[in-house]
Amino acid sequence: MSFLQKLLPLCILGAAIPAMPAMGRAPLDKPNVVIVYLDDSGYGDFEFTGNKNVKTPHLNKMKDEGLFMSHFYSGSPACTASRYALMTGKSPARSGLKRWVLSPQNAEYIKPEEQTVPETMKQAGYVTGMIGKWHLGVTNKANGMDTKSLPCAHGFDTYIGIPYSNDMTPTPLIQQPGDSKAYPSAKVLENPVEQDKLTQYYFNLACDFVKKNKNRPFFLYLATSMPHYPLHPGKDFRGKSSSGRIYDDVIEEIDHCMGQLLGTIDKAGIGRNTLVIFSSDNGPWLIKGDQGGTALPFRDGKGSNFEGGVRVPGIFRWTGVISPGQTNDSIASVLDIHPTLCTLTKQEFKPHGHADGHSIAHILNPKFGGKTIEDDDYVLIQTGKGTNKAMAVHWKNWKLHIDTFSQLWGQKKITDHNSPPVKATMDKPLLYDLSTDIAETTNVADKHPEIVEFMKKKIKEFNASLKDEAP
pLDDT in tens, 338-393: 999 999 999 999 898 899 999 999 999 988 876 655 556 789 999 999 999 999 99
User: CATH topology of 27-375 equal to that of 381-466?
Assistant: no
Q: Which pLDDT value is given to residue 34? A: 98
The radius of gyration computed from the CA coordinates of the chain, to the nearest angstrom, equals 21
Q: What share of the chain is helix, strand, coil (3-state, %, to 5)?
A: 30, 15, 50
Architecture of domain 381-466: 2-Layer Sandwich (3.30)
Per-residue pLDDT band at 411 (split at 50, 70, 90): confident
Strand order of the sheet with strand 315-317?
Answer: 187-190, 173-176, 158-161, 127-132, 218-223, 32-38, 274-280, 315-317, 67-73, 326-333
Domain ranges for the chain, please list them: 27-375, 381-466
Give the mean pLDDT of the chain.
92
Q: Which pLDDT value is given to residue 471? A: 55
Per-residue pLDDT band at 419 (split at 50, 70, 90): confident
Q: Which residues of 429-447 are buried (b: 16+ CB within 10 A; e: fewer)?
A: bbbbbbeeebbbeebebee
Q: Which pLDDT value is given to residue 469? A: 73
Has residue 204 got a pLDDT over 80?
yes
Q: Which pLDDT value is given to residue 15? A: 35
Half-sphere exposure of 271 (CA within 13 A, CB side): 14
Per-residue pLDDT band at 144 (split at 50, 70, 90): very high
Per-residue pLDDT band at 466 (split at 50, 70, 90): very high
Has residue 95 got a pLDDT over 50?
yes
Per-residue pLDDT band at 410 (split at 50, 70, 90): confident
Query: Over 72-84, what HEC string results?
Result: EECCCCCHHHHHH
Has residue 18 got a pLDDT over 50?
no
27-375 CATH choice from 3.40.630.20, 3.30.300.340, 3.40.720.10, 3.30.70.330:
3.40.720.10
pLDDT tens per residue, range 252-311: 999 999 999 999 999 999 999 999 999 999 999 999 999 999 998 999 999 999 999 999
Tell me the DSSP string of 253-292.
Answer: HHHHHHHHHHHHHHHTT-GGGEEEEEEESSS--GGGGGGS
Which amino acid is located at 210 in the chain? V
Per-residue pLDDT band at 2 (split at 50, 70, 90): low
pLDDT tens per residue, range 303-342: 999 999 999 999 999 999 999 999 999 999 999 999 999 9
pLDDT tens per residue, range 29-75: 899 999 999 999 999 999 999 999 999 999 999 999 999 999 999 99
